[in-house]
Structure 1
Amino acid sequence: MAPRDAYAYNTLPSAAIYDEGAPPSEEKKELVINDRAYDVTAFIKRHPGGKIIAYQVGTDATDAYKQFHVRSKKADKVLKSLPSRPLRAGYEPRRAALLADFAEFTRQLEAEGKFEPSPRHVAYRLAEVVAMHVAGAALIWHGYTLAGIAMLGVVQGRCGWLMHEGGHYSLTGNISIDRAIQVAVYGLGCGMSGAWWRNQHNKHHATPQKLKHDVDLDTLPLVAFHERVAARVKSPLMKSWLKMQATLFAPVTTLLVALGWQVYLHPRHMLRTGHYDELSMLAIRYGVVGYLAANYGAAHTLCCYLLYVSLGSMYIFCNFAVSHTHLPIVEADQHATWVEYSANHTTNCAPSWWCDWWMSYLNYQIEHHLFPSMPQFRHPTIAPRVKALFEKHGLHYDVRGYFEAMADTFMNLDKVGNAHEHNH
């Protein structure tokens, strides 16, 4: 089995060797797409997707551009309007062969309809979260309070999975409809902002596990997933917290993150950016909470709400953590190709009927990072071919059992939290 570093990463400004003209300029803020260098200096601030475009400056961004804009008809028109010059990116032979095979593989999947949405699947996913909310409420109504809260906690996590797919536009394939689904499901079901999530999560997809780029590594002061991140901590109090982070992560840290998002970070983003549709979802959600408090007592309602949010946050954040956080990092001044980011910095959890449901097909994390706009229920159908592609080119197709991956995640938390002791 090939080691993860089988393809050594290049230092910026480029991961490629350019055969014509000068490499893409970082001072001029150029990036390469389909053998043309585009000057995005003036475009960065008005890029609809936010600052994520800055992560591709100085690189061959062909695959990132294609995978992020599968559903956008406007993107190509905007791209053609930007100043550009011919510039062909050339790679060493084995990397060039990998990218050529990946491009052909992508064309095959498009021809086979693997990116096409399934209205039946979307209807099932929406019906599931509605039915689980009704079931949870019914259990509480009939006196089974803890069982009802457990049901609602799980469906809060299920709303997280569903909004995630809406944010990637892989539900209906219609950007406006998928955004509306995300706003409703995330706002009503989780009390959070889809717009904030899209902006942050796409940065993670562009450069997973890359220092100073991947927001999933920028998690202080509550948690640190890598020793380089933990090394920034100077406060003795924070060091003590990190020392206990493996124990605190599931029951405490995830709840603090969720509450911080619900109470402060996401409402602030909605107000600053004028996302009043999202604010209306919060008004409905907390209107229900207020009604319950008025009829069943504020203290009782608050305790039940905290338990409900705690269960949901443990479910969603622990399952997100297993896919990346314990894997190697990319240095801030290095660049990997799109395929290498997926191969070296994501891991799958072994498929089974229950794991596929429990993680809503995000146990196929490698496939999801290769093709973020593909409906996730199609990932099992392409996984064997992805594995064959990796094996052909000496890349590691990392699959771990669910509980093995979870154990790796918590062992990494413990190792990172105690790293400062080992370094003295």
Structure 2
Amino acid sequence: MADNSSCPGGELKYYTWEDVQKRCTRDERWLVIKRKVYDITRFCYRHPGGPRVISHYAGQDATDAFTAFHIDKELVQKHMKCLLIGELAPGQPCVEPKKNAALVEDFRALRSTVEQMGLLKPNKLFFFGVLLHILFIDVLAWLNLYYFGASLIPYLITVLLLGTVQAQAGWLQHDFGHLSVFGKSKWNHLVHKFVIGHLKGAPASWWNHLHFQHHAKPNCFRKDPDINMHPLLFALGKKLSVELGIKKKKYMPYNHQHKYFFLIGPPALIPLYFQWYIFYFVVQRKQWADLAWMISFYVRLFLTYVPMVGIGGTITLFFLVRFVESNWFVWVTQMNHIPMHIDYDDNKDWLSTQLQATCNVDQSLFNDWFSGHLNFQIEHHLFPTMPRHNYPKTAPLVRSLCKKYGIDYQSKPLFTAFADIVHSLQESGELWLDAYLHK
């Protein structure tokens, strides 16, 4: 046994994978990082990323997730010393049983190659240019009304311009939220609050709480909040839809979900749900700094547009902009995930977990701009801190590794990706109906 002086009265012990896998309850949570065993039972509630994202790996090997999410690993590991309770016994494999050890090691070698090629280093001028183009469109929207007046056509043009601002600012805040721009976390967090709070009117804490869970376990039911609409609104995934039908559960007429998606999906998510929920979130969790940033957005909006279109015109403008943003946001973010594999967490290796839940959309200048480079969803999920301008350079390396192991690497045209959302909803709805009626 080895002493651990940083943990009062504690000694490092040897454990098996079976020992770790048993500790995935509310009362006891362990995980493994680089063969070291950590007890996160109490720490998860103090975890900067929130308790859920780290708890999703309870009883599992979190090595690749830990590596993917943290940019200053040495600093983080210093804070983890008091959580260290032991290590895997000498006879225990480095990779969890039932996982492909060769695949895991090859992916880790790929990550080392990516680091050595400098693909995790950002070009700050790129992100500065993205910010400038957002601010330019924002000013252009105001100038349009100032010079052409508040008649219908200029008014609608301003709506489209401000909708573009909101969508593009959404992709930019995503970059800062993933620590992709600066080498220090604190600078990414600070600018993230400005972009999502002041430019968009949303809280950074809310985004962090939801989005990192999505990345940790994409398309995993009860772990990925992005698929929480199952089963209340939609039946998602082939297996889950059949399971829902067998249980004779019918919260909605799921066999028609590919139709009502057009009503309660893209047009409604932001203006009818997110818009009020973000205020509930920050007040409930007492995130007062985030609330102040959000208020600054609304103050700027009203000071800018009330003199030209009045209070009623500004409120209408705001909700029309949210409508445009919502459609843009939902189609782009769901095209990579909804048509893919959706199921319970089966604890696969990092590469397989991300590839079965994500697909790409073909590269073009328009697709890159329109989606904020989230058309490279596969590379983004494998390397979430990677600056988006390096995705195209990384894609051939990922394709090669996938080909070696026969893993499906999907890339499709933009409108095919949009259509696949609807087709997948129709298919899962039909599977639910068949199980509901006949099983």
**Are residue 226 (structure 1) and residue 227 (structure 2) matched?**
no
Corresponding residue number in structure 1 for 2:113: 108
Alignment counterpart, residue 323 of structure 2, candidates 302, 306, 310? 310
Q: Deviations over 1:49-89 (max 9, x none)?
A: 11211110111111011111124543111222213212143
- Tell me the CA shift for residue 224 of structure 1: 4.6
- Structure 2: which amino acid aligns with 1:110? E
Cα distance in 2 for residues equivalent to 1:248 and 1:189? 31
The aligned runs of 1:38-57 (5 Å cut-off) are 38-50=38-50, 51-57=52-58
Structure 2 residue runs of 5 or longer lacking an equivalent are: 1-13
Corresponding residue number in structure 2 for 1:6: none
Q: Is the 8 A contact 1:64 1:206 kept in 2?
A: yes
Cα distance in 1 for residues equivalent to 2:307 and 2:158? 19
Corresponding residue number in structure 2 for 1:177: 187
Q: Is the 8 A contact 2:271 2:326 kept in 1?
A: no
**Are residue 195 (structure 1) and residue 211 (structure 2) matched?**
no
Q: Is the 8 A contact 2:234 2:257 kept in 1?
A: yes
Corresponding residue number in structure 2 for 1:74: 75
* Residues 90 and 235 of structure 1, relative CA distance in 2, 3 Å threshold: closer
- Tell me the CA shift for residue 285 of structure 1: 2.1
Corresponding residue number in structure 2 for 1:61: 62
- Tell me the CA shift for residue 270 of structure 1: 1.8
SS state at 1:23 partner: helix
SS state at 1:254 partner: coil
SS state at 2:37 partner: strand
- Tell me the CA shift for residue 419 of structure 1: 4.8
Corresponding residue number in structure 1 for 2:11: none
Q: Is the 8 A contact 1:157 1:316 kept in 2?
A: yes
**Are residue 379 (structure 1) and residue 384 (structure 2) matched?**
no
Cα distance in 2 for residues equivalent to 1:263 and 1:390? 40
**Are residue 258 (structure 1) and residue 270 (structure 2) matched?**
yes
- Structure 1: which amino acid aligns with 2:114? L
SS state at 1:306 partner: helix
The aligned runs of 1:343-358 (5 Å cut-off) are 343-358=355-370
TM-score (norm 1): 0.87
Corresponding residue number in structure 2 for 1:4: none
- Structure 1: which amino acid aligns with 2:201? G
Cα distance in 2 for residues equivalent to 1:136 and 1:234? 51
Structure 1 residue runs of 5 or longer lacking an equivalent are: 1-17
- Tell me the CA shift for residue 305 of structure 1: 2.0
TM-score (norm 2): 0.84
Alignment counterpart, residue 217 of structure 2, candidates 199, 207, 222? 207
Alignment counterpart, residue 405 of structure 2, candidates 393, 399, 402? 393
- Tell me the CA shift for residue 100 of structure 1: 0.9
* Residues 33 and 188 of structure 1, relative CA distance in 2, 3 Å threshold: same
Corresponding residue number in structure 1 for 2:313: 300
Cα distance in 2 for residues equivalent to 1:417 and 1:302? 37
Q: Deviations over 1:353-410 (max 9, x none)?
A: 2111111111111111110001111000010011001111221111111111111011
**Are residue 320 (structure 1) and residue 338 (structure 2) matched?**
no
Cα distance in 1 for residues equivalent to 2:99 and 2:74? 33
Q: Deviations over 1:20-77 (max 9, x none)?
A: 5743131542111111221222222222211211110111111011111124543111
- Structure 1: which amino acid aligns with 2:359? T
Q: Is the 8 A contact 1:250 1:318 kept in 2?
A: no
Provide the identity percentage: 26
Cα distance in 2 for residues equivalent to 1:134 and 1:182? 21
Cα distance in 1 for residues equivalent to 2:17 and 2:340? 37
Cα distance in 1 for residues equivalent to 2:99 and 2:430? 40
**Are residue 409 (structure 1) and residue 405 (structure 2) matched?**
no
Q: Which region of structure 1 is more displaced relative to structure 2, 197-206 or 141-150? A: 141-150
* Residues 103 and 161 of structure 1, relative CA distance in 2, 3 Å threshold: same
Q: Which region of structure 1 is more displaced relative to structure 2, 310-319 or 275-284? A: 275-284
Structure showing greater Rg:
2
* Residues 181 and 249 of structure 1, relative CA distance in 2, 3 Å threshold: farther
* Residues 252 and 146 of structure 1, relative CA distance in 2, 3 Å threshold: farther
**Are residue 133 (structure 1) and residue 151 (structure 2) matched?**
no
Q: Which region of structure 1 is more displaced relative to structure 2, 76-85 or 380-389? A: 76-85
- Tell me the CA shift for residue 301 of structure 1: 2.7
Cα distance in 1 for residues equivalent to 2:70 and 2:281? 24
SS state at 2:222 partner: coil
Alignment counterpart, residue 167 of structure 1, candidates 173, 177, 197? 177
* Residues 199 and 339 of structure 1, relative CA distance in 2, 3 Å threshold: same
Cα distance in 1 for residues equivalent to 2:376 and 2:83? 36
Q: Which region of structure 1 is more displaced relative to structure 2, 275-284 or 33-42? A: 275-284
Q: Deviations over 1:177-230 (max 9, x none)?
A: 212222121123332111111111111111111111111110254545436369
